[in-house]
Amino acid sequence: MAVDQEIVDFTAGVLLRYFRGGAPIEGEAPRLDRRRDVDLLKAHWSVSAPVRDLVKYVVSHAHEAQSLFRFETRINDAVARGRIDARRTLQYRLQSGLPSAIVAEEPVRSFETGPNLVLAWVLREAGAYTARLAIWQGDASPYRTVIEDAQRDLRAVQRLEALRDPLRAVALGRKPAPGAIQAAARSRQPIYRLAVHAYRLLQGVERGEPESIDRIARSALIGPLENWRRFELAVGLAAGEAIEAAGASPLRLLLLGGTSSGPIITAGRFDLYWQQQTSFYKAPPLEPSEAAVRDIVKAYGLPLSGDRPDFIVVDREAGEVAAVIEVKYLAGDTSTARFREAADQVVRYARGYRPPGAEPALIARSLIALSQAAPELAEAGAMVPASIDFADIKAAKLASWAGRLVAAPAPPPQP
């Protein structure tokens, strides 16, 4: 199996452990409360593969939406466009005094059929939850592109003439009747079968079915992320679980519902932040080479880069950063070159999180994670970051790093 697929499976597996154990738990920091997080799962359902496939199919196959003829009573003058109701025609003529009036049952084409109402309900729910998911994202969220694509396709669906009446007829929160679901499932048209598949997936999420949650986790929670970002997420989740296992429990997963400025994981006294410098960072004085680069960039009118650590582990009791985690996904480069790059970044960030002379302790508790071929330590006892790759993560070899981090005494807060 390719390492990318293994990373997807590992990350989805970690997330699903929390969703599957999502019964409400009394206490200050439950792992996951399904009642609280079901809306988050349903929002991710709106950009999952079954829903996205349905929306794209509707846009390109709108002609498959089938209509039926229903009869409406119409009164016309000397014209009959359907079956004449002789008794009601006579009554109307006597009552109105119009000798040429005709009451007839006219056939009218209608798209408000059971299967169309199921399709419209799924599309309306997808639109509502996609909008909710967009509100929860920060400006730099990797989900932005996926959400914008989904919303663009949903707007195209709303302009389809065949679905205009059904979309107006359905109400959010009121589910289609069982007969409508059965009719859509029996239809020969793929457009209705896709709608039923998406509908049943959503119902599975609401019931907490592992298979439905698994489908969403694999196609929506981590699907929109780039390969390197998926690996970062895998490292962060594994680091959080290792810290919890080392004794810093309970662990709380905030990845889905947390704010963009908050931690993604908390475990005991530790908070794990993803791609954030946080308020703990203080820009250190520039070294001569860094000052030279700054002057060159400034001369061209370009902004200085705003580097951020992949992860930082904050010790809340100490009020400081306890570790820096740098993650490198290998894509055409050597592991040696990527490890050197990560080591340089750990040292540079340590200068921003510690006063001069205090950096070595932070560096020694830090971590460098490569997707593969991480180097092994040649000097036992050296005060350097731990090195690990994805194979080590799957083998639970983060335990020794987490054990040192948790066992380290919390220093007094900085004045």
Query: Structurally, how many domains does the chain consist of?
Result: 3
Over residues 234-241, the mean pLDDT reads 92
pLDDT given for residue 23 in this prediction = 34
Q: Are residues 39 and 100 in the same domain?
A: no
Q: What strands lie across the sheet with 386-389, from one edge to the other?
A: 251-253, 265-267, 270-274, 311-315, 320-328, 367-370, 386-389
Q: Are residues 352 and 321 in the same domain?
A: yes
Is pLDDT above 80 for 413? no
Q: Are residues 43 and 141 in the same domain?
A: yes
Residue at 395 is within a domain: yes
Residue at 25 is within a domain: no
Segment 356-382, tens digit of pLDDT: 888 999 999 999 999 999 998 888 778
Higher pLDDT, 129 or 66: 129
Q: Are residues 262 and 352 in the same domain?
A: yes
pLDDT given for residue 19 in this prediction = 56
Q: Are residues 186 and 282 in the same domain?
A: no
Per-residue pLDDT band at 17 (split at 50, 70, 90) = low
> Cα(133)–Cα(218) distance, rounded to whole angstroms?
17
In eight-state DSSP terms, residue 246 is T
- Single out the residue in 166, 200, 221 at which a domain terminates: 221
pLDDT given for residue 36 in this prediction = 52
Give the chain's length.
Answer: 415
pLDDT given for residue 305 in this prediction = 66
CA dihedral 122, 124, 127, 130 (to 10 degrees): -50
In eight-state DSSP terms, residue 79 is -
Over residues 403-408, the mean pLDDT reads 86
pLDDT given for residue 32 in this prediction = 41
pLDDT given for residue 109 in this prediction = 57
> φ and ψ at 330, to 5 degrees?
-80, 120
Q: Which residues span the domain enclosing 198?
A: 34-64+114-221
Residue at 245 is within a domain: yes
**pTM (two decimals):** 0.68
Q: Are residues 238 and 352 in the same domain?
A: yes
Is pLDDT above 60 for 33? no
Nearest Cα residue to 260 out of 134, 130, 131: 134
Residue at 185 is within a domain: yes
pLDDT given for residue 24 in this prediction = 33
Higher pLDDT, 211 or 12: 211
Over residues 328-337, the mean pLDDT reads 89
Residue at 414 is within a domain: no
Residue at 20 is within a domain: no
Q: Are residues 185 and 307 in the same domain?
A: no
Residue at 269 is within a domain: yes
Q: Are residues 266 and 136 in the same domain?
A: no
What tokens does 98 get? 């119009």
- Single out the residue in 168, 190, 221 at which a domain terminates: 221
> Cα(276)–Cα(83) distance, rounded to whole angstroms?
72
Over residues 213-222, the mean pLDDT reads 77
pLDDT given for residue 117 in this prediction = 84
Is pLDDT above 70 for 1? no
Q: Are residues 151 and 273 in the same domain?
A: no
Q: Are residues 296 and 310 in the same domain?
A: yes
Across all residues in the chain, what is the average pLDDT?
Answer: 82
Q: Are residues 170 and 84 in the same domain?
A: no
- Single out the residue in 221, 253, 276 at which a domain terminates: 221
pLDDT given for residue 27 in this prediction = 31
pLDDT given for residue 170 in this prediction = 67
pLDDT given for residue 283 in this prediction = 83
Q: Are residues 185 and 237 in the same domain?
A: no
Residue at 412 is within a domain: no
